[in-house]
Chains A and B, each alone.
Chain A
Amino acid sequence: MIKTTMKAAFVAVIALTGLVSLHAEALRVDVSLDRSSYVSGAPRTAYVKVGLSGTAQSDRSRPELNVALVLDRSGSMQGEKLEQAREAARYAVGLLAPQDFLSLVVYDTEVRVLVPSTRVQDKARFYRAIDEIYAGSSTALFAGVSRGAQEVRRRLSSDRVNRVILLSDGIANVGPDSPAALQELGRGLRREGVSVTTIGLGSGYNEDLMTRLAAAADGNHAFVESPRDLVRVFDAEFRDVLSIAALDIKIEIDCAKGVRPIRIMNREGDIRDGRVYVNLNQVLASQEKYVLVELELPPSETGRTRDVASAKIAYRGLDGLSKNVASPVVQASYTADSAIAAKSVKPEVREQVVLQLATEANEEAVRLRDEGKTKDAKKVLEDNATFLRSEAAGAPSPALKEYAEKNAADAEAVSKDDWTAQRKSMRESQYQNKTQQSY
Chain B
Amino acid sequence: MKRRHVAALAFAFVVPMVLALALAASAVRDGRERARIRASDAASARLEAASARIAAVASEWDAALLHLSDGLDGNRQALRKLSDGHPWVRQAFWLDANARLVFPDAATSGLRETEFLARSELLFAAGLLPAAREAGGVGTDHGWSSYWWREGSQWVFWKAKGVRGYAGLELNRYVLLSDLSARLDPAVPRQSENKQYRLRLEDDRGAVFAVWGGYVPAEGARPLASSELPKPFSGWTLRYDMDEQVWAAEGRASLIALALGALGVLFAAAALAVYVFRGFADELKLAGQRVSFVNQVSHELKTPLTNIRLYAELLAKRLPEGGSERGYLDVIEREGRRLSRLINNVLTFGRETRGSAENLCLRPDSIDAAVERVLDAFRPSFEEREMMIDARLNAGGTVMIDADLIDQVVGNLLSNAEKYAASGRIVTVETGREEERAWVRVKDRGPGIKKEDRPRLFLQFERFHVAVTDAVGGTGLGLYLSRVLARRHGGDLVLEETETGSSFLFIFCAENNCEESI
Number of interface residues of A (CB under 8 A): 39
Complex CA gap A143/B209 in Å reads: 9
Kindly list chain B residues whose C-beta atoms are within 8 Å of the C-beta of A184. 90, 172-175
Determine the distance from Cα of A241 to Cα of B490 in the docked complex, in whole angstroms: 127
With a CB–CB cut-off of 8 A, which chain A residues contact B191? Answer: 110
Q: Which residues of A contact B (CB under 8 A)?
A: 108-111, 113, 136-138, 140, 142-143, 145-147, 149-150, 173-178, 180-182, 184-185, 187-189, 191-192, 269-274, 277
- B residues less than 8 Å from A273 (CB atoms): 109-110
Q: Which residues of B contact A270 (CB under 8 A)?
A: 84, 110-112
Chain B contributes a number of interface residues (CB within 8 A of A) equal to 38
B172 touches A146 (CB 8 A): no
- List B residues 176-196 near A (Cβ within 8 Å): 177-179, 181-183, 185-186, 190-192
Give, as a whole number of angstroms, the nearest-CB distance from B299 to chain A: 95
What residues of A have a CB within 8 angstroms of the CB of B150 in the complex? 180
Contacts of A150 in B (CB 8 A): 179, 182-183
How far apart sit A269 and B112, CA to CA, in the bound complex (Å)?
8
A-contacting residues, B193-216, CB 8 Å: 203, 207-212, 214
User: Which residue in A109, A177, A269 is a CB contact (below 8 Å) of B190?
Assistant: A109
Question: CB distance A188 to B192 under 8 Å?
Answer: no
- What is the bound-complex CA distance between A111 and B183, given in angstroms? 11
**Of the candidates A147, A180, A191, which one forms a contact with B182 in the assembled complex, judged by CB atoms under 8 Å apart?**
A147
Cβ of B87 under 8 Å from chain A = yes
- Report yes or no: B207 in contact with A177, Cβ–Cβ below 8 A: yes
| Nearest opposing residue in chain B for A187, CB measure | B172
A182 CB contacts on chain B under 8 angstroms: 174
Report how far A415 CA is from B173 CA in the complex, Å.
Answer: 38
Cβ contact within 8 Å between B87 and A272: no
Determine whether B113 belongs to the interface, using a CB cutoff of 8 Å to chain A: yes
Q: Is the CB of A176 within 8 A of B174?
A: yes
- Residue numbers in B under 8 Å from A274 (CB-CB): 109
User: Chain A residues near B152 (CB, 8 Å)?
Assistant: 181
Q: Chain B's interface: helix, strand, loop or mixed, by majority?
A: mixed
- A187-B172, A188-B88 given; A142·B111 CB < 8 A: no
Q: A110: which B residues are within 8 A, CB to CB?
A: 185, 190-192, 211-212
Q: What's the Cα separation between A177 and B190 when bound, in Å?
A: 19
A67 to chain B, nearest CB (A): 16
* A-B contact list, 24 entries, CB within 8 Å: A110-B212, A111-B181, A111-B185, A137-B192, A138-B211, A140-B210, A142-B177, A143-B185, A146-B181, A146-B185, A147-B181, A149-B182, A174-B211, A175-B181, A176-B177, A181-B151, A184-B173, A185-B178, A187-B175, A188-B172, A188-B178, A269-B111, A272-B112, A272-B113
Question: Judging by beta carbons under 8 Å apart, are A143 and B110 in contact?
Answer: no
Question: Hey, what's the 0/1 contact readout for B158-177 against A, CB within 8 Å counting as 1?
Answer: 00000000000000111101
Q: How far is the CA of A180 from the CA of B174 in the complex (A)?
A: 10
Decide if A143 touches B181 in the complex (CB within 8 Å).
yes
Q: How far is the CA of A150 from the CA of B179 in the complex (A)?
A: 8
- By the criterion CB–CB under 8 Å, are A277 and B84 in contact? yes
Q: Assuming the A-B contacts A182-B174, A185-B174, are A192 and B87 also in contact, with contact meaning beta carbons closer than 8 angstroms in the complex?
A: yes
- Inter-chain contacts of B88 with A (CB < 8 A): 188
In the complex, how many angstroms separate the beta carbon of A363 from the nearest chain B beta carbon? 19
Instruction: Kindly provide the distance from the CB of A37 to the nearest chain B CB, expressed in whole angstroms.
Output: 28
Q: Are A136 and B178 CB-contacts (below 8 A) given A109-B211, A180-B150, A272-B110?
A: no
